[in-house]
A = this chain, B = another copy of it.
Amino acid sequence: LYKVATAALSPANICSPIRTILRGQKNCQVVMAEISGIDVTNQRLFAEGGYVTYDYLILAAGATHSYFGHDEWATIAPGLKSIEDATELRRRILLAFESAEYEGSEEARRAALTFGIVGAGPTGVELAGAIKEIAGFTLPRDYRHIDTRTTRVIIFEGADRVLPPFPPKLSARAHRDLERMGVEVRLKSIVTNITPEGIYVGDEFTPVRNVFWAAGVRANPLGQSLGVELDRAGRVIVGEDLTIPGRPNVFIAGDLAAATSADTGQPVPGVAQGGIQMGRYAGRTIAAETAGRSTPAQRKPFVYRDKGSMAVIGKAKAVAHIGRFQLGGFLAWLLWGGIHIAFLIGFRNRFFVLLVWFWNWLLNSRDARLITGAARLDIAVPRPAEFIRYEAATIETDCSSRNEKH
């Protein structure tokens, strides 16, 4: 997603239609509909104006952003959880440079070229590195009035290190890599307010025109209609078999589940591999029971296998934590790339992503730089004085030197 947001990949490079993935599964149907509620007693799912019934249910509705009670920040500081989010971020990032190019004052230009990212988890770190790279390598030759290499990227993190779920050694490595790329990292900095002008950490104000949210996560509100206990983030607290209390036919998988691994007693982390393993557990359990090979009473508890975690910082910069191994730099980056490509669904996607990556690697190019959407100029509309001042500032270049008469 962060590669779509920073114009390195197209949305279609990272998505496959669910229908096509499940094409070979003849006993499976895909229905596109928004589920408005669940009645676990009568085993019904309500969709717009109708319902369907089920024997088994796997609920995997995921999570969305949490602004910690400040939903008014959402329009100023969008997050990155869906393809729509990614194209919106891309639009904002590219428009930031467009508006900086014709800002009248140096101060306004600096603010337009400042990006604030709230949260130094994997998403925040990836986004920060990618913005710094596009500004430093892809865009410089395209602009006349700004040096995009002066773009500031500031990460605000409440904890005392970046990538808090990683071992301290890798956090330090990532921190060093980020600073080498020119990303400013502000630790122990809990954001208290966000305005269109900038970010407040307590009384400290930083002028930032572009803010992206990579901090809180809140489970899909659909969990509330189950009538069972939720945790603080709105996730459904599930039993050892990932079902809800008293309903052995209702499984929760992925970010919507507050699950515990039966062997360690540790919570299953909200990462892709957690979701994949939960989904597989639920699917296999249901397949065995509907085939008569097992019963709910015979279920083995869910065990989460940590296959490691990784985060990418920039070109040839990543960290990986796999079992006892802690890797940084080029090797971690290669591993990260290989695994992400392997998990992209569909051979064509893998093939094209590999090609596009190789291309970008060679040329530092980012060709998916489309500014789409209806409200194109809602950011930084030039005011009259600035617009004229913009022109005056161009008087020394060849073409516009012909404008000297006014």
Contact with B along A213-246 (1 / 0, CB 8 A): 0000000000000000000000000000000000
| Chain B residues positioned under 8 Å from A367 (CB to CB) | 12, 16, 346, 348-349
Residue in B391, B398, B399 whose CB lies within 8 Å of A53: B391
Is A71 positioned at the interface, with any CB of B under 8 Å from its CB?
no
Instruction: Kindly specify which of A108-116, A149-157, A327-335, A372-380 makes contact with the partner chain.
Output: A372-380
| Chain B residues positioned under 8 Å from A371 (CB to CB) | 32
Per DSSP, are chain A's interface residues mostly helix, strand or loop, or mixed? loop
Is A171 positioned at the interface, with any CB of B under 8 Å from its CB?
no
Is A298 positioned at the interface, with any CB of B under 8 Å from its CB?
no
- Are A383's CB and B12's CB within 8 A? no
Task: Closest B residue to A138 by CB, please name it.
Answer: B20
- Are B101's CB and A31's CB within 8 A? yes
Contact with B along A351-383 (1 / 0, CB 8 A): 010011001000101011111111011000111
Residue in B23, B55, B142, B399 whose CB lies within 8 Å of A17: B142
- Are A372's CB and B84's CB within 8 A? yes
Assuming the A-B contacts A83-B370, A367-B346, are A387 and B53 also in contact, with contact meaning beta carbons closer than 8 angstroms in the complex? no
Number of copies: 2
Instruction: Kindly specify which of A44-52, A197-205, A252-260, A314-322 makes contact with the partner chain.
Output: A44-52
Task: Closest B residue to A144 by CB, please name it.
Answer: B29
Chain B min CB distance to A269 (Å): 28
| Chain B residues positioned under 8 Å from A47 (CB to CB) | 382, 387
How far is B144's CA from A152's CA once the two chains are assembled, in angstroms? 52
A: contact size bracket: 35 or more
Is A69 positioned at the interface, with any CB of B under 8 Å from its CB?
no
Residue in B16, B50, B83, B141 whose CB lies within 8 Å of A386: B50
Assuming the A-B contacts A27-B399, A348-B359, are A51 and B143 also in contact, with contact meaning beta carbons closer than 8 angstroms in the complex? no
Is A70 positioned at the interface, with any CB of B under 8 Å from its CB?
no
Chain B min CB distance to A237 (Å): 28
Contact with B along A1-27 (1 / 0, CB 8 A): 000000000111101110110010011
Within 8 A of B (CB), among A148-173: none
Chain B min CB distance to A372 (Å): 6
| Chain B residues positioned under 8 Å from A49 (CB to CB) | 381-384, 387
Chain B min CB distance to A401 (Å): 9
- Are B15's CB and A370's CB within 8 A? yes
Task: Closest B residue to A99 by CB, please name it.
Answer: B32
- Are A12's CB and B53's CB within 8 A? no
- Are A352's CB and B349's CB within 8 A? no
Is A102 positioned at the interface, with any CB of B under 8 Å from its CB?
yes
- Are B11's CB and A84's CB within 8 A? no
- Contacts beyond the supplied A29-B400, A348-B363: 6 A-B pairs with Cβ under 8 Å: A10-B12, A34-B376, A49-B381, A50-B387, A84-B374, A355-B355
23 contacting pairs across A/B (C-beta < 8 A): A10-B11, A10-B368, A17-B142, A17-B369, A19-B142, A19-B143, A26-B397, A26-B398, A27-B397, A32-B98, A32-B376, A33-B102, A50-B388, A51-B387, A51-B388, A54-B403, A55-B403, A84-B372, A84-B373, A346-B367, A348-B365, A349-B367, A352-B352
